[in-house]
Structure 1
Amino acid sequence: MKINLASVFVDDQDKALRFYTEVLGFVKKHEVPMGEHHKWVTVVSPEEPDGTELVLEPDVHPVVKPYQTGLVADGIPHTSFAVEDVKAEFERLRGLGVVFTQEPLDLGPVITAILDDTCGNLIQIAQYK
């Protein structure tokens, strides 16, 4: 068994697709219309194009907004992405205008930073030592 898909709820799929591809550097894998206002949109790491797909899921279910609001209010990231060098990625992303709620923090076996994905989520980037 392996992980095939993971989801992140977003308030605007087009905005999310731009952020996750143009800013974070993921690559669009699928974009399939699914009705009037939604589509099936996934992105993948350019390092693993056949790896786990991240679904940019519309946040239309009524429990999503309170869930997201609660996580953001408590500073809890929705998910985590692995990077080779958190400090370098932090500087690259900050240079692109990304807002961080936590600058790089050394936590022993891992260095983390937390960013705002502009679509309703906090996302952690992590470097394992």
Structure 2
Amino acid sequence: MRLKMCSIHVKDPASAHEFYTGILGFETLMALPEHNLYIIKDPAGAGGGSVGLLLEPSDNPIGAAYMNACHDAGLPAIVFGVPDVRAEYERLAAKGVIFQGEPSEGPGGTTVVLDDGCGNYVQLHQD
């Protein structure tokens, strides 16, 4: 058994797709704009790219409530592994990405949290 797909709720799937591919560097696995359906994957060579991330519309009241509650509490909706958190922080800050703070180190590694502008906080993690 393996993880095939997971999802995060977003305010606007098309805008989220643009951010996650154009800014963060993910690749499009599937895009059906006429159905408001966007699925992204890891960039080629960055982990196999076999797991899809569905950018799910938050038009469901349950999904919207969960997304908004996590965002209001400052909780990341998802965690992405990166080889160098500080380098990603610098790269993304230069592109105008908003962070909760600067990278920090702890027993579990180095982390930083960014706002995707689509209703979610995203944590970057380095072992």
Same fold (TM over 0.5): yes
Structure 1 runs of 4+ off > 4 angstroms?
none
Q: Percent identity?
A: 37
Deviation at 1:40, TM superposition (A): 2.5
- Indicate the SS of the match to 1:54: strand
TM-score normalized by structure 1?
Answer: 0.90
Aligned to 1:44: 41
Q: Which amino acid aligns with 1:94?
A: A
Deviation at 1:50, TM superposition (A): 3.8
Deviation readout 1:30-69 (Å, 9 max, x if unpaired): 1135xx6x33311111124541111111111011222122
Unaligned runs of 5+ in 1: none
Matched, 1:97 2:99: no
Aligned to 2:112: 113
- Indicate the SS of the match to 1:125: strand
Distance in 1 (CA, whole Å) between partners of 2:104 and 2:71 is 18
TM-score normalized by structure 2?
Answer: 0.91
- Indicate the SS of the match to 2:16: helix
Distance in 1 (CA, whole Å) between partners of 2:101 and 2:3 is 28
Distance in 1 (CA, whole Å) between partners of 2:98 and 2:81 is 18
Aligned to 1:123: 122
The total of aligned residue pairs comes to 125
Aligned to 1:3: 3
Structure number with higher helix proportion: 2
